[in-house]
């Protein structure tokens, strides 16, 4: 279709206005100026359009043309996405580098996936079968791990008229023909989908299974569910990014989409260089084989940053539709909100709180709402999920600011990072008294069935102990620790073990970086047994000084670092030693 060209009338940073744009749609993609910079229409008034441009606009001026594309910002979804690294609008950064060198120059374009690469297609349906959107017609092995399922795009249905036999095809080849109400339609191995529209599902379900992350404080105390939403707010340096990286590495999702939204270039490089080397404990293959990275660093154009979270969630939805459990990490949603604010400011919109646009809350809510566990489109009943974990970077670490507050109204898990903990190098610096998870009840039965009957009781007991410690600490601040009665001093000792040896976890230690659920459970069980034993001992009259000098505390502090293969045996020996040692103390006073 041919459209009339628009004419630029105003340029102010990433915002451009053009006239002669009648008939254009909001969110339509346009090419701006002589260099054809990619932009998106964000407002229309009579024949004037307001456009946000995804690239630096220096050198563009009034009088240059705006060319319409007739379509909204859309992604190409098909085999070849996994292992890629894109910018906020699905331009593949390695290809861009080949084309334009080490620095990203303007107006460079490249296909998001290689249309000439041959993929081995295996059909799974036959001619004559009635199909609807979401039905799988064949599979392609994408990388070492992922089976890419080729689907009928949403909203299309009909009878399979023709399907190719098993063999190698490119994305340009039609692999099937579908007889629809509007006639024959070619089906390719890829689909196009507009980023700002959620891909449809039949029904949303309540999450029930935990998203196991191997991080003790998260899994045991504030669990995330598959299909859930979580927020990690924290001032700078408290460890948002390290936590997000840990989740991207170890969360037991089948596909991980990592959105680096307005963050540091060097940190993205860390992910880029590290993920191909790290091995997924489940598949034994490099983590990159299940990961898609989006990198729109803080110095890349702000409008593309705004689009990047939508690009990320659309990629996640596409893999969910194949039946996979997908996890999406967005670091950081504050930068996304700031991108909205920046554009809103250039549009001279009436600002809401702290200069953020009044629609901030609804945009955040709509984004998180695209997460969830759902019954998928298609003839067969399939269930899959998207879990979304958003980092929030509150200015000055002040959680009362609008992005944090509006996020907390939506998400069900809150991992509160704490500057005071960070300053004493307690990592992960997640405050156990302020964090919460509303999925505790939902994941309880999984833990009880898969790990240990008494998991929930142990967890609550430990939580109670930490709560008690916080109360006692207030008194200690006033009178000093030695003024407390022995039983309470013993409580402090026990709480300290949980705090230092269970809650703290070293992300950079080769073993401690991932703690399997069973190990978490056993660690907690032994530590709580320690508590019971020392409480008993003190009650029987053992001096608190002797309790403080127990050797088994050294054992407890080493638990996290014991190999994930042999820990069960070593833990059992350890608990025998612990019982012996404390038993002897008790015997000592009884005699």
Partner 1 sequence: MRDVNKDMEYRTVREISGPLVVVEGVHGVAYGEVVKIKGGDGRERLGQVLEARKELAILQVFEGTNGLDTKNTSVRFTGETMQIGLSTEMLGRVFDGSGRPIDGGPEIIPDIRRDINGAPINPSAREFPKEFIQTGVSTIDGMNTLVRGQKLPIFSASGLPHNELAAQIARQAKVLGQKEEFAVVFVAMGITSEEANFFRRDFERTGALERSVLFLNLADDPAIERIIIPRMGLTTAEYLAFDKGMHVLVILTDMTNYCEALREIAAAREEVPGRRGYPGYMYTDLANIYERAGRIHGKQGTITQIPILTMPDDDMTHPIPDLTGYITEGQIVLSRELHRKGIYPPVTVGACLSRLMQHGIGKERTREDHADVANQLYAAYAEGNDLRNLVAVVGEEALTERDKKFLKFSDIFERRFVAQGKDEDRSIDDTLNLAWELLSTLPREELKRIRKEWMEKYYPKKG
Complex with partner 1: residue 279 or 420, whichever CB lies closer = 420
Rounded least distance, CB 375 to partner 1, Å: 37
Instruction: Give the count of beta carbons closer than 10 Å to the beta carbon of residue 124.
Output: 13
Complex with partner 1: residue 450 or 543, whichever CB lies closer = 543
Residue 292 is given by DSSP the state E
For 181-188, which contacts have Cβ atoms below 8 Å and span 24 or more sequence positions? 185/156, 185/158, 187/137, 187/150, 187/152, 187/153, 188/78
- What lies within 8 Å, CB to CB, of 167 at 6+ separation is 120, 121
SS3 of residue 20 by DSSP: coil
Rounded Cα distance, 29 and 3, in Å: 13
Rounded least distance, CB 446 to partner 1, Å: 33
Complex with partner 1: residue 297 or 505, whichever CB lies closer = 297
Rounded least distance, CB 20 to partner 1, Å: 12
SS3 of residue 246 by DSSP: helix
Complex with partner 1: residue 183 or 480, whichever CB lies closer = 480
User: For the stretch 158-181, what's the b/e string if a residue is b when 16 or more beta carbons lie within 10 angstroms of its beta carbon?
Assistant: bebeebbeeeebebebebbbbbee
Rounded least distance, CB 338 to partner 1, Å: 6
Rounded least distance, CB 432 to partner 1, Å: 18
Complex with partner 1: residue 14 or 214, whichever CB lies closer = 14
Q: Give the start-end residues of each E strand in 111-169.
A: 119-123, 130-132, 136-142, 146-151, 157-163, 167-169
| Torsion sign (Cα): 143, 80, 319, 176 | negative
Rounded Cα distance, 62 and 212, in Å: 54
Rounded Cα distance, 215 and 428, in Å: 9
Rounded least distance, CB 129 to partner 1, Å: 42
Residue ranges of alpha helices (H) inside 455-566 are 455-479, 486-497, 517-539, 544-548, 552-558
Complex with partner 1: residue 370 or 553, whichever CB lies closer = 553
Rounded least distance, CB 333 to partner 1, Å: 13
Complex with partner 1: residue 131 or 337, whichever CB lies closer = 337
Rounded least distance, CB 522 to partner 1, Å: 21
The packing angle between helices 265-274 and 240-250, to 10°, is 20
Complex with partner 1: residue 186 or 270, whichever CB lies closer = 270
Rounded least distance, CB 462 to partner 1, Å: 20
Complex with partner 1: residue 102 or 126, whichever CB lies closer = 102
Rounded least distance, CB 76 to partner 1, Å: 19
Q: Cα-flanking dihedrals φ and ψ of residue 288, to 5°?
A: -60, -20
The packing angle between helices 333-346 and 360-369, to 10°, is 140
Rounded Cα distance, 238 and 430, in Å: 9
Complex with partner 1: residue 58 or 591, whichever CB lies closer = 58
């Amino acid at each position: 279709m041919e459209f009339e060209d628009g004419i630029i009338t105003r340029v102010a940073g990433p915002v451009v206005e053009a006239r002669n744009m009648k008939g254009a749609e909001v969110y339509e993609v346009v090419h701006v100026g002589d260099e054809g910079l990619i932009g998106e229409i964000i407002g229309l008034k009579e024949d004037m359009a307001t456009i946000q441009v995804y690239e630096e606009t220096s050198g563009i001026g009034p009088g240059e043309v705006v060319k319409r594309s007739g379509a909204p910002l859309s992604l190409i979804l098909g085999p070849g996405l996994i292992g890629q690294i894109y910018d906020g609008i699905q331009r593949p950064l390695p290809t861009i580098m080949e084309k334009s060198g080490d620095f990203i120059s303007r107006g460079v374009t490249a296909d998001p996936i290689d249309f000439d690469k041959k993929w081995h297609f295996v059909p799974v349906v036959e001619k004559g079968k009635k199909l609807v959107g979401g039905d799988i017609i064949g599979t392609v092995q994408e990388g070492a791990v992922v089976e890419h399922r080729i689907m009928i795009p949403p909203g299309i249905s009909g009878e399979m008229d023709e399907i190719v036999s098993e063999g190698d095809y490119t994305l340009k080849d039609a692999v099937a023909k579908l007889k629809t109400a509007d006639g024959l339609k070619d089906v390719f191995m890829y689909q196009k989908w507009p980023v700002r529209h959620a891909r449809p599902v039949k029904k949303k379900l309540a999450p029930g299974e935990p998203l196991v992350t191997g991080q003790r404080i998260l899994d045991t105390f504030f669990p995330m569910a598959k299909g859930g939403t979580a927020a990690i707010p924290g001032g700078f340096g408290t460890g948002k990014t390290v936590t997000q990286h840990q989740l991207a590495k170890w969360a037991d999702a089948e596909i991980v989409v990592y959105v680096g939204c307005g963050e540091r270039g060097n940190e993205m490089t860390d992910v880029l260089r590290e993920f191909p080397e790290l091995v997924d404990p489940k598949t034994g293959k490099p983590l990159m084989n299940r990961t898609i990275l989006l990198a729109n660093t803080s110095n890349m154009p702000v409008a593309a940053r705004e689009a990047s979270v939508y690009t990320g969630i659309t990629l996640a939805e596409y893999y969910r539709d194949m039946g996979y459990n997908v996890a999406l990490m967005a670091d950081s949603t504050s930068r996304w909100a700031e991108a909205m604010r920046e554009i809103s400011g250039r549009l001279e919109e009436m600002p809401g709180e702290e200069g953020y646009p009044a629609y901030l809350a609804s945009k955040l809510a709509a984004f998180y709402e695209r997460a969830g566990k759902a019954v998928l489109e298609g003839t067969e009943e399939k269930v899959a999920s998207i879990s979304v974990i958003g980092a929030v970077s509150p200015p000055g670490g002040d959680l009362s600011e609008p992005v944090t507050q509006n996020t907390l109204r939506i998400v069900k898990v809150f991992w509160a990072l704490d500057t005071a903990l960070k300053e004493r190098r307690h990592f992960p610096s997640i405050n156990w008294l302020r964090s919460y998870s509303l999925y505790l009840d939902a994941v309880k039965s999984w833990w009880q069935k898969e790990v240990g009957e008494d998991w929930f009781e142990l967890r609550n007991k430990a939580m109670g102990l930490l709560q008690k410690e916080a109360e006692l600490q207030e008194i200690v601040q006033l009178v000093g620790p030695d003024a407390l009665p022995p039983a309470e001093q013993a409580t402090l000792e026990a709480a300290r073990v949980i705090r230092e040896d269970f809650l703290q976890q070293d992300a950079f230690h080769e073993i401690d970086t991932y703690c399997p659920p069973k190990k978490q459970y056993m660690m907690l069980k032994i530590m709580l047994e320690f508590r019971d034993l020392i409480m008993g001992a003190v009650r029987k009259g053992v001096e608190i000084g002797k309790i403080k000098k127990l050797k088994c505390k050294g054992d407890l502090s080493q638990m996290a670092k014991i190999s994930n293969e042999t820990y069960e045996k070593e833990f059992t020996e350890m608990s025998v030693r612990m019982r012996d040692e404390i038993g002897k103390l008790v015997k000592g006073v009884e005699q």
